[in-house]
Amino acid sequence: MSIRRLQFAGSGPVLVFAVLFLVVVALKQGFSAFDLRSLCVNAAPLALIALGQFVIVLARGIDLSLGPVASVAGAVMALTITDHPAVGIAGPVLIGIAAGLANGLSVAQLRLPPIIVTLATMSIWQGIALLVLPDPGGEVPAAYQALTGGFSSPFMGVAGLVVFCLVAGWILRTRFGLHLRALGGDEPAARLSGVRVSRVKLGAYVLGGVLAALGGMYLAVATSSGSPTVGDSYILTSVAAVVIGGVPLSGGRGTPLGVVMGALILTITGSLLYFADVSSFYQSIIDGAILLAVVGTGSARDWLRDIARMGPWPSRTGQPS
C-alpha cells in the first residue's frame, strides 16, 4: 500500500502539469520548439531553488532566505565573471555555503525556529544584495550561456531539468538522503537510531544554500546581468513549488520529480494567462488557488481516510436518553 501511495503522490503533479500543458497547446493552437525552450529556461532557476527548499523541508525545516541568496550570488557573478572568472564561479558558491552555514548553525545548534531565523537572514541578504549591486547591472559574457545548455535548443532545456531530477534523486539515495528522510519522518526515533541530527540539519541548509546560489548564477547567465531583487520572487514560490510537488511541510516524504513538476506548473500558468488573454496580475491569484487546491485535496483525502477507518456511525438505538 505504501508503494502505491508513493507512486500516486509522485504522479499527481505530473498529471496537473499535463492538463495545464494541453490547455496551453489548445489556446495557442500548437507548441513550438521555441515555446518549449522558453518554458524550460524560465522554470530552471525556480526548479534549482525549489530543490534547495525541498532538501530543507525534508528535514522539517524551511528557508525564506533562498531567494535573496540567489540575488547576491547572481550579482557577485555579474560583477566579477568578466575580469576574474575564478571568483565569478567560486564566489557565488561560497556565498551559498555561508548562507547555509549561518541558517543551519542557528537552527541545529542554537535550536532557533527555522522560520524566524530565515526571515531574519532573508532581510540581511536582501540588504547585502543592494550593497553589492544597488541597481541592475554587471555583465556575463555570452560564452557562459553554453554552460547552462538550456538556451540553444529545447532538447537541452528538457535535459537540464532531467539532470536536476537525477542528481537530486541520487543525493536522496545516499546515506545523507536516507538520514534526511528519517529526520523528517520522526526526529526522536532518528536520533535514537544513530542519526546525527544536528549534522544532517546543517548539511540540509548548506545544500539548500548552494542550490539557491546556482539558481542565482543561472539567472545571471540567462539575463547576462545581475539584479539585487531578482530572487525576491522566489522566496515564496520556492515553497509553493515544493508543496505543489506533493511534499508535505511536515517533512520526511516527497520526490525531486514532484518538485520540478511544481516549478513547471507555476511557470506554465504565466503562459496560460498570456494565451488566454488574461492580465498577468491574476497569476498570483491562480498560483494561490492551485496551492490551496493541492493542500486541500491532501487534507480532504486524509479526512476521508480517517472516516473510513472509523467505520459506520454507531446506532443510537438502545442508548439511554
The predicted-structure confidence for 248-275, as pLDDT tens digits, reads as follows 888 888 889 999 999 999 999 887 887 7
What DSSP state is assigned to residue 313?
Answer: P
Give the CATH number of the domain where residue 187 resides: 1.10.3470
How many Å apart are CA 73 and CA 92, to the nearest integer? 4
Count other C-beta atoms under 10 Å from residue 155's C-beta.
Answer: 14
Identify the weakest region by mean pLDDT among 37-51, 151-165, 186-200, 233-247: 151-165
Residue 130 is assigned to a structural domain of this protein: yes
Average pLDDT, the chain: 84
Strand partners, 226: 137
3-state secondary structure of 137: strand
Q: Is the pTM for the entire model greater than 0.85?
A: yes
What local confidence, expressed as pLDDT, does residue 231 receive?
93
Residues with Cβ < 8 Å from 311, sequence gap 6 or more? none
**Distance set, CA 24 to CA 18, 27, 38 (Å):** 10, 5, 14
What local confidence, expressed as pLDDT, does residue 305 receive?
64
The predicted-structure confidence for 120-130, as pLDDT tens digits, reads as follows 999 999 999 99
| pLDDT: which is higher, 5 or 207 | 207
Closest C-alpha to 49, from 310, 270, 272, 262: 262
Count other C-beta atoms under 10 Å from residue 15's C-beta.
Answer: 11
Residue in this structure with the C-alpha cell 540581511, named with its chain if needed:
124
Structural domains counted in the chain: 1
| pLDDT: which is higher, 178 or 290 | 178
Residue 9 is assigned to a structural domain of this protein: no
Residue 190 is assigned to a structural domain of this protein: yes
pLDDT-derived band at 6, boundaries 50, 70, 90 = very low
pLDDT-derived band at 232, boundaries 50, 70, 90 = very high
What local confidence, expressed as pLDDT, does residue 312 receive?
56
Residue 314 is assigned to a structural domain of this protein: no
Angle at 310 between CA 306 and CA 311, to 5 degrees: 120
Q: Domain range spanning residue 32?
A: 15-306
Mean pLDDT of 284-313: 68
Residue 211 has pLDDT above 80, yes or no: yes
Mean pLDDT of 176-197: 88
What local confidence, expressed as pLDDT, does residue 321 receive?
45
The predicted-structure confidence for 71-116, as pLDDT tens digits, reads as follows 999 999 999 998 999 999 999 999 999 999 999 999 998 999 999 9
Angle in degrees, 0-180, between the axes of helices 234-244 and 66-80, rounded to the nearest 10: 120
Residue 248 is assigned to a structural domain of this protein: yes
pLDDT-derived band at 283, boundaries 50, 70, 90 = confident
| pLDDT: which is higher, 237 or 314 | 237
Residue 27 is assigned to a structural domain of this protein: yes
| pLDDT: which is higher, 9 or 268 | 268
Residue 117 is assigned to a structural domain of this protein: yes
Residue 3 is assigned to a structural domain of this protein: no
